[in-house]
């Protein structure tokens, strides 16, 4: 049965979630109670929640991000990292999925042996007094306790069911390995697009990257079609960070649609699930990240040139800029795909088209199986004509033909 300390901890978390002043009174009471007893109950509660989240489909990088965006203090955010480190310390890497270990290793979690008392060590490192330490514990419980279950992507510790290995540019080699020449060329082209200060040049590099992605996807589809392999759709989840979550979500959806994938936005955790074939998912992750960087660069440049208080610094301008940018990017990606399809058809015939259609049907079936009936929703948008026009220009600064020639 729960102890009075854990009951008070959960009561405080519930009150904080409801923004009830009762939370502050509970924190005061917990601060006055024996430190070791309260810490022991908090450790048990938080570790149990971490275990539930692993079983509920959460990945290490996702929980780490949730600690950052869901907690109200940096001390509480780092407490989530300590809890993850304490949980991992008791596990043997050989029993875990390689991508799980890779994610843990990439996070730079605190060093701990996982023994009881890690909250006390966290508080010492954070140099927080007792009321602030208790407030952080309550904050973490409030953050983690009400998170939804997610679709499993990477097998959790101890999981018997092994979901299909999802593609991830950062964590796997979905295009055949990190040394894959196509992947390296695409990565290099997008890096050049992100680094240049000239919008026309950036779009030329991006257009060439999309052309290579589409050609690679056609080649991969034909190879797997001939081999009748077990190549199946899989899923990844991508974070959509504030500000301007809605326009960024639409940009991801646009990129995914042009790359033969589909997306499902999860608003309660600000992430999108992307479903497709491994090589296409790699393309989505690469291109979406690059286009965000390019859009932010163009936005920053517009704001830098504008006088203080002028429209390019406003929220409505920036939101409309991203909407206009996304709209034109979608048109440009379709133009690139149509040009590639026409060229491949003239060279090799149209045999690839039925293969791509069958893969599209398989993606739709995957979505229906995992998510059931979905609904579309309109995007709330503050209209700003200047922002929309500026975003369109940023996405359309170079003609497609000359852009491809420049990037070749």
* DSSP string for residues in 162-212: -------TTTS-TTS-TT-HHHHHHHHHHHHHHH-S-HHHHHHHHHHHHHH
Two tokens, residue 10: 């959960």
User: Cβ of 106: how many Cβ atoms within 10 Å?
Assistant: 13
Instruction: Indicate the SS3 state at residue 18.
Output: coil
The pTM (predicted TM-score) of the whole model is 0.83
Nearest to 247 by CA among 329, 299, 297, 319: 319
| pLDDT recorded at residue 167 | 44
Q: Using a CB cutoff of 8 Å and minimum separation of 24, what contacts does 48-53 make?
A: 49/141, 49/144, 49/145, 50/83, 50/84, 50/87, 50/144, 51/87, 53/144, 53/147
Residues 6+ apart with CB under 8 A from 139: 16, 71, 72, 73, 76, 79
* DSSP string for residues in 86-99: HHHHTS-GGGS-HH
Which position has the token pair 């050989």? 94
Question: What is the gyration radius of the CA atoms in the chain, in angstroms?
Answer: 24
Q: What is the largest CA-CA distance in the chain?
A: 78
**Hey, CA dihedral for 352, 355, 361, 365, is it positive or negative?**
negative
Residues 6+ apart with CB under 8 A from 238: 252, 271, 272, 274, 285, 288
User: Cβ of 382: how many Cβ atoms within 10 Å?
Assistant: 13
Query: Which parts of 90-174 fold into alpha helices (H)?
Result: 98-106, 118-126, 130-145
**Hey, CA dihedral for 381, 385, 388, 390, is it positive or negative?**
negative
Query: Parallel, antiparallel, or unpaired: how do β-strands 262-266 and 271-276 relate?
Result: antiparallel
| pLDDT recorded at residue 396 | 62
Length of the chain counted residue by residue? 408
State how far the Cα of 41 lies from the Cα of 82, in Å rounded to an integer: 16
262-266, strands of its sheet edge to edge? 234-239, 271-276, 262-266
User: Cβ of 312: how many Cβ atoms within 10 Å?
Assistant: 20
Task: Check: CB of residue 269 under 8 Å from CB of residue 66.
Answer: yes
In the chain (408 residues long), the average pLDDT of successive 10-residue segments reads 86 96 96 96 97 97 97 97 96 91 95 94 96 98 96 85 46 44 85 84 88 88 63 91 91 94 94 93 91 84 65 74 88 93 93 90 91 66 62 56 40
């Amino acid at each position: 049965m729960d102890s009075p300390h854990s009951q008070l901890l959960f009561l405080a978390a519930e009150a904080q979630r409801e923004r009830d002043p009762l939370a502050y009174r509970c924190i005061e009471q917990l601060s006055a109670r024996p430190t070791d007893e309260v810490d022991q109950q908090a450790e048990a509660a938080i570790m149990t929640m971490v275990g539930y989240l692993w079983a509920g489909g959460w990945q290490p990088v996702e929980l780490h991000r949730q600690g950052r965006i869901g907690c109200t203090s940096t001390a509480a955010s780092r407490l989530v990292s300590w809890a993850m480190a304490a949980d991992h310390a008791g596990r043997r890497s050989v029993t875990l999925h390689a991508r799980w270990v890779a994610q843990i290793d990439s996070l730079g979690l605190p060093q701990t042996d996982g023994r009881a008392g890690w909250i006390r060590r966290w508080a010492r490192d954070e140099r927080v007094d007792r009321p602030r330490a208790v407030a952080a514990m309550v904050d973490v419980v409030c953050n983690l306790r009400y998170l939804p279950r997610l679709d499993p992507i990477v097998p959790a510790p101890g999981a018997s069911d092994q979901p299909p290995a999802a593609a991830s540019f950062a964590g796997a080699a979905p295009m055949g390995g990190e040394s894959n020449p196509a992947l390296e060329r695409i990565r290099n082209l997008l890096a050049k697009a992100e680094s240049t200060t000239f919008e026309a040049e950036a779009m030329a590099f991006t257009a060439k990257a999309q052309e290579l992605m589409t050609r690679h996807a056609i080649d991969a589809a034909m190879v797997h079609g001939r081999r009748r392999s077990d190549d199946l759709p899989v899923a990844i989840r991508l974070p959509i960070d504030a500000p301007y979550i809605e326009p960024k979500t639409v940009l991801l959806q646009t990129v995914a649609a042009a790359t033969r994938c589909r997306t499902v936005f999860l608003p309660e955790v600000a992430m999108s699930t992307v479903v497709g074939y491994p090589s296409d998912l790699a393309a989505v992750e690469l291109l979406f990240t690059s286009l965000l960087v390019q859009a932010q660069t163009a936005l920053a440049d517009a704001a830098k040139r504008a006088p203080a208080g002028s429209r390019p610094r406003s929220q409505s301008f920036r939101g409309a800029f991203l909407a206009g940018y996304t709209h034109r990017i979608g048109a440009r990606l379709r133009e690139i795909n149509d040009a590639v399809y026409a060229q491949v058809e003239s060279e090799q015939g149209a045999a690839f088209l039925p293969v791509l259609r069958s893969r599209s049907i398989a993606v739709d079936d995957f979505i229906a199986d995992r998510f059931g009936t979905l609904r579309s929703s309109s995007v709330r948008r503050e209209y700003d004509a200047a922002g929309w026009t500026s975003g369109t220009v940023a996405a359309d600064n170079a003609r497609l033909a000359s852009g491809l020639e420049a990037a070749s």
